[in-house]
A and B are shown apart, each in its own frame.
Chain A
């Protein structure tokens, strides 16, 4: 495939590319695409993949302590799904010409980000409920929108993920509902989890549209289909009723139905906290990355064994071929 273009050719290619996007057609891996589009996608999809995998940590932490065998099975299945989702997304990123190794290295070096929510600890069993209901709930709002993203492999990955994800939110809500209907102490535990996870879950949608570094270009390229603020509003609107039904209170005194807008008004996010966590100084940032690095290093012997086996196989194949030639000569 031709890789060097004149300025005029480039402009023509870009115009054709944008026309395709404007016509709601998907971009596929072998299509020509602007370098910026590719770069933007690699950043976003790999960040999404890292989030799935790092997200296994706060939940995995509770597998041995789940309150019943059934809840343990459910949590195991959920964490297993998250690992699978990471795989779908890494594979989609790899269709853009980057290797898995580069992506993991960027995560370890702190160059690549992941969802800031996973830098908050899961302190109680109710947190597992809150993570499923709120964190997965927020992720689903975002992912449903991304099913219409312009890059084909990403869009198809999202369809698959959304289908599997619906059980995650429901099992989380079910945990919260069970606690909220339990003893006063259990209900208080559920409320406490909601209190701690509500605001970080709103932060998952990123900065306000006006301050979002990548938003405008991503919308033009239809990598993103709805803005951060639109998605956040949708999430707030759906969550209010869900909290009411199980008798829990969303920790926002400014939360109020706005008849004219047809949406809930809500309070301002603590952006200092958002920036602090994004920039590596949340409660668990160092722990999360250190754990991932350790798991990666602990697994080095597996990669070494694979490499050793491959070289043994090719050595034997080489020897067998030489042997074959020799026996031909003797005949």
Chain B
């Protein structure tokens, strides 16, 4: 069956004001059907107020193995964090 039906990733907004979060995936013939399946599969207990479905093949992902070249510079820049700056106790809530 999965030979014929495309894989979709499902994202659900649990409450207005929150981001859509990835909840899982499913196979469907097209986007509309994926939306209906997502409703049936992922929102049976009022988990959400809005669903996004995206073709899995349209997702471009970074690889964990690329960590060094992709994310590494973040670790040697501690000055990007607020805690890096030592301030007097009285104004430290800044």
The interface of chain A, by Cβ under 8 A from chain B, is: 25-28, 70, 73-74, 77, 81, 137, 152, 155-156, 166-167, 169-171, 173-174, 177, 241-242, 245-246
Contacts and interface: CB of A to CB of B under 8 A. Distances in A.
Contacts of A156: 17-19
Contacts, number: 56
By Cβ-Cβ distance, the 4 closest A-B pairs, closest first, are: A26-B17, A170-B85, A166-B82, A26-B16
Nearest to B84: A167
Given A81-B80, A174-B85, A177-B88, 8 more contacts: A25-B16, A25-B17, A170-B84, A173-B87, A173-B94, A177-B87, A245-B88, A245-B91
Chain B contact patch, size range: 10 to 19
Interface of B: 13, 16-19, 50, 77, 79-82, 84-88, 90-91, 94
Given A26-B17, A28-B50, A156-B19, A171 B87 contact: no
Nearest to A151: B17
Contacts of B87: 170, 173-174, 177
Q: Is the interface of A mostly helix, strand, loop or mixed?
A: helix
Given A28-B50, A174-B85, A245-B88, A70 B79 contact: yes
A242 B94 CA distance: 9
Contacts of B90: 241, 245
Contacts of B18: 156
B79 A241 contact: no
B76 to A, nearest CB: 10
Contact of B79 (A27, A155, A171, A245): A171
6 contacts: A28-B16, A73-B79, A174-B85, A241-B91, A242-B91, A242-B94
A180 B13 CA distance: 49
A219 to B, nearest CB: 18
A74 B79 CA distance: 6
Contacts of B94: 137, 166, 169-170, 173, 242
A295 B85 CA distance: 33
Contacts of B86: 174
B63 to A, nearest CB: 23
